[in-house]
Structure 1
Amino acid sequence: MSGLRENGLWKRELRESELRESPHKSAPAVEVRDCSFTYAGSSESVLTHVDWSVPKGAFALLVGATGSGKSTLLSLLKPEISPAGACSGELFVLGEDPRALSVGESARRVGYVFQSPDNQIVCETVWHEMAFGLENLGTSQGEMRRLVAETCYFFGMEDWLHASCDELSGGRKQLLALAATLVMKPRVLLLDEPTAQLDPIAEKNFLHALFRVNRELGCTVVVATHAPRPMLDYATCAYRMEGGRVEELPCLDGLSERQQLLVPDGTPDGSCAFGMRLEGGTGAGEGSASQEGSVSRGGVHGATRLAATVRLERAWFRYDRAGSWVLRGMDFTAYGGSIHALVGGNGCGKSTLLGIMAGSLKPQRGACRIERAAKALLPQDPRALFVAETVLDELMEWSRAARYAQVDALAMLERLDLTGLESRHPYDLSGGQQQLLALGKLLLVKPELLLLDEPTKGLDMEARRSLASALIELRGRGVAVVMATHDLDFVEQVADTVSMLFDGEIACTEPSGEFFEGNVYYRP
């Protein structure tokens, strides 16, 4: 059977199934009526009398500020992952209340793709991950093989069907999460920040696959995102969450504008929400380190580079003896008083390099030399830092060792715009709020070397501006900031220096302005 015939068969089955199972043939794909939601243990509603309707066959975008309730709203349409709390109002997916569906009916009606594929992938190999959901639905062996085969053909996964999930790049992991959801043939697909951890090329490939799912398979797609610009060529409608409600945007053009993080003279655009009070905390910016000259870059001017804070010398690293080298003879230096960005494709070694600088990984050959001991790492998944039951307790965990008081933690909550969430469990925060909480926890210990892995993931524009302000202030105090990121817009406006990793090595290291002037594909 040809790929086109398989796709046609799948699309016909979806339509026949929809007509057979739903008596509400004219119902929207998603409909929410007078819906309110309050998290358990909280007195403040996240959703307030929400009315929302998404037509069948749409490619819909859902935008809004960090913590506005986008993820909460989508998760309520998938009861298996809905948060604990009080929910009122009516919810419908293709005319049926999703809370009344069995697990099998829910899987075939609504698919959900998380921001991080590592939170969704549960099996060791691609083949088993593709079959996992079907096995749980009691699908026959023959039907399972057919569905896996046609889905793999649709996404071009044949060459890595038997690969280990742990060895996949970030782009392939996200594609696998999408394919493993679609193999169960849902007719509505909900995605929460699905491209936040993808490099620019992987993002384009993923969005094209999602476009094909929408147009060729007739699947309604709803994407919650802080980065709508790359999706505008595919979107048919857009909605904004604000003040606990949803409103339709009459025009998509407003989502295409590129917003500035900094004013023209290179200073933060607006007040520094973090207000980093680091006096007496680092010593790095108080003349204790020798100056080595000025950093030349495209956005921020007048920065002064201090002595080297961390240096890798001919470092080699691999995760197991039989595996491939992730880093090969890596030479890298980061300086105090500078913001150094690491860019490159998924799986190129950026996170590994940060892990070595943080001390959680050790090179098998070569050396990593840290001139100052105070360092902190923000991992890709901020929940790796969470151990407490409440937001405030989370910020207070290191207070004794780092010598700060509760008043400092409360001030940090205010700067993070998390005031009022002190008693909320960290896992009940939105993805962007979790990112801010983890960052605030690290900043309270006043590191001299700050390592950030995808720091803007899940952040809206205002939060990204606050982050830019915080990093610039830290740089001014002599802190060395090294961030691995796919957010090239943030890199261009904030970073002093950019290094591109490729094939286990540094392909180039240039001032930010020069890097983007000469780059063909890696551009914001």
Structure 2
Amino acid sequence: MIEPNEASLCPAARDGASQRAASGKQAAALAFRNVTFTYPGQERPVLDGVDWEVEQGSFTLLVGSTGSGKSTLLSLAKPEIAPAGERTGEVLVQGAPVEDLGAERSARAVGFVFQNPENQIVCESVWHEMAFGLENLATPRAEMRRLVAETSYFFGMEDWFRADTAELSGGRKQLLALASTLVMQPRLLLLDEPTAQLDPIAEKNFLHALFRVNRELGCTVVVATHAPRAMLDYATCAYRLEEGRIARVENLSDLERRWEPGLGHRGRGESSRTTSEEQSPPSLAPEQTSVGRLIPSAAASRAVEFSRAWFRYGRDDDWVLRNLDLAVGAGSVHALVGGNGCGKSTLLALMAGLHKLQRGSLRRESRSCALLPQDPRALFVAETADDELAEWGAAAGYGEAEASAMLERVGLAGCGPMHPYDLSGGQQQLLALAKLLLVKPRVLLLDEPTKGLDMAARCAVCELLDEVAAEGATVVVATHDLELVEHLADEVSMIFDGEVASTEPTERFFQGNVYYRP
């Protein structure tokens, strides 16, 4: 493992190096000493007496259930982004208390990459985003140009260095968030679910870049994740956060847990198949998959249908959709997959009526439609989770009892009095989904519904959506979660270059795929 040159360390790291020289012991890159943290208005702490050390130069994974406090734990190492609340105990970076670092030293000592790069990118162009942090640190111009240039070369950004940030794919935005953090040369890099919104190929590319940062630059890396399996080849150690306490995972292979068998496809088994076979004439008989699910035949009714659809956001922009044809069978679960920026989210927004096609046609069988966007906070307007679920009750015909039961069903029992923004990213996702499910839409559109969720929560979401489809609703899911697709979807459409490259039954799609495999 490459050890950093002490002369190249930031001030906080040099302070730690001096302390190590005096004591004869190397300070931890990050240390928590009996840290307890409680959010405002909450009696129970989310962190309870945490003692934790992250070794210099390690590639450390931090795992735990949805809402266990992983994001809170990491953010306490950066006072500028730490949440409001009461903290006791000490947090040390390179041996120095975080409170003593100050904004400039903190920026140079600790880099933080958020789950959603949209929350981090602030400039209109890639080159300006790369320089932004250095400008705020009053870095001399010649040094700033050198740092930006060498970091851009390291990540292979030459071809898109002058691009607009708004036009980047999700994978490039995440890579830009990483590069614009590392250009300030932090010795400790903290990442919160950095691959949650990346397609399988972009995820591999991002993790390879992160591995190079760790091994070649000697940067200590800590990743909070619900999906550790893809990172196990790079990790040197892992820790689990549960019930406010942290413990080392002694065997990394224990983190390879896959989707639990039997938790998908519930509620649409024999009874559904019998009803369909009795009611459908032979020419309309649905095709049956190997797991007992039904997909509509070509002649079955369509809940959503695009015909020769063209769409772009601006008059001078490139086309997002090009002569696209897509048919979604009524009562089916239809998955949209493809690379970041291929148009999956655009398709959902068009189905929801948020945009209109420039050419071609879109037909939707029902006006009862609900969309879960990638950022669930777009649905939040109230001060508590309880009030969020009550907002549409009068219009949709449900009451407090139904809302309370739904909150418990999505695993948020006890979170009702909390402000939605005080919930973890995964919990916000579950709250937004619960809000939509209460109105019982006939067409449910979901953009990355399992983003930020642990395995148990993902399985619970799969069950809920399966029940929604069993009741006759149509579900369209745009996702990079291929395990969800495998266990839930009837059909899969791959979007590429503005068109539908293929639409196939789920089993057939995965049988012939080299790169898109769960």
User: Normalising to structure 1: TM-score of the pair?
Assistant: 0.91
Does residue 296 of structure 2 align to residue 297 of structure 1?
no
Aligned residues of 1:237 and 1:249 also touching (Cα < 8 A): yes
Counterpart in the other structure of 1:439: 433
Q: Give the secondary structure class of the aligned counterpart of 1:362.
A: coil
**Counterpart-to-counterpart distance in 2, 1:11 and 1:314:** 59
Counterpart in the other structure of 2:262: 262
Counterpart in the other structure of 2:504: 510
**Counterpart-to-counterpart distance in 2, 1:476 and 1:363:** 31
**Counterpart-to-counterpart distance in 2, 1:12 and 1:153:** 24
**Counterpart-to-counterpart distance in 2, 1:357 and 1:288:** 29
Larger deviation: 297-306 or 378-387?
Answer: 297-306
**Counterpart-to-counterpart distance in 2, 1:154 and 1:14:** 18
1:45-84 alignment runs, 5 A limit: 45-84=45-84
Cα 1:300–1:21 change in 2 (3 A) is farther
**Counterpart-to-counterpart distance in 1, 2:413 and 2:77:** 28
Counterpart in the other structure of 1:430: 424
Cα 1:288–1:430 change in 2 (3 A) is farther
Counterpart in the other structure of 2:202: 202
Aligned residues of 1:310 and 1:357 also touching (Cα < 8 A): yes
Deviations 1:441-463 (A, max 9, x none): 11111111000101110010110
Q: Which amino acid aligns with 1:192?
A: D
Deviations 1:376-430 (A, max 9, x none): 0111111111111111111112122212112211111111221222121111111
Aligned residues of 1:313 and 1:366 also touching (Cα < 8 A): yes
Aligned residues of 1:170 and 1:346 also touching (Cα < 8 A): yes
1:29-428 alignment runs, 5 A limit: 29-262=29-262, 266-267=265-266, 292-302=284-294, 307-428=301-422
Q: Which amino acid aligns with 1:409?
A: A
Q: Give the secondary structure class of the aligned counterpart of 2:34.
A: strand
Deviations 1:116-147 (A, max 9, x none): 00011010000111111111111111111111
Deviations 1:29-48 (A, max 9, x none): 11111111111121121111
Cα 1:508–1:517 change in 2 (3 A) is same
**Counterpart-to-counterpart distance in 1, 2:178 and 2:219:** 13
Deviations 1:41-85 (A, max 9, x none): 211211111111111100000011000111110111111111111
RMSD (Å), alpha carbons:
2.2
Does residue 489 of structure 2 align to residue 471 of structure 1?
no
Q: Which amino acid aligns with 1:198?
A: L
Identical counterparts, % of pairs = 61
Counterpart in the other structure of 2:273: none
Cα 1:300–1:109 change in 2 (3 A) is farther
**Residue 361 of structure 1: how far off its partner (Å):** 1.2
User: Normalising to structure 2: TM-score of the pair?
Assistant: 0.93
Q: Which amino acid aligns with 2:485?
A: V
Aligned residues of 1:298 and 1:514 also touching (Cα < 8 A): no
Deviations 1:239-267 (A, max 9, x none): 00111111000110111232325259x43
Q: Which amino acid aligns with 1:327?
A: L
Q: Which amino acid aligns with 1:246?
A: I
**Counterpart-to-counterpart distance in 2, 1:261 and 1:455:** 20
The number of residue pairs the alignment matches comes to 500
Cα 1:368–1:61 change in 2 (3 A) is same
Q: Which amino acid aligns with 2:182?
A: L
Counterpart in the other structure of 1:24: 19
**Residue 303 of structure 1: how far off its partner (Å):** 6.2
Counterpart in the other structure of 1:271: none
Does residue 448 of structure 2 align to residue 454 of structure 1?
yes
Counterpart in the other structure of 1:280: none
**Counterpart-to-counterpart distance in 1, 2:254 and 2:222:** 19
**Structure 1, gaps ≥5 residues long:** 1-7, 269-284
**Structure 2, gaps ≥5 residues long:** 21-25, 268-275
**Residue 21 of structure 1: how far off its partner (Å):** 3.0
Counterpart in the other structure of 2:271: none
Cα 1:317–1:196 change in 2 (3 A) is same
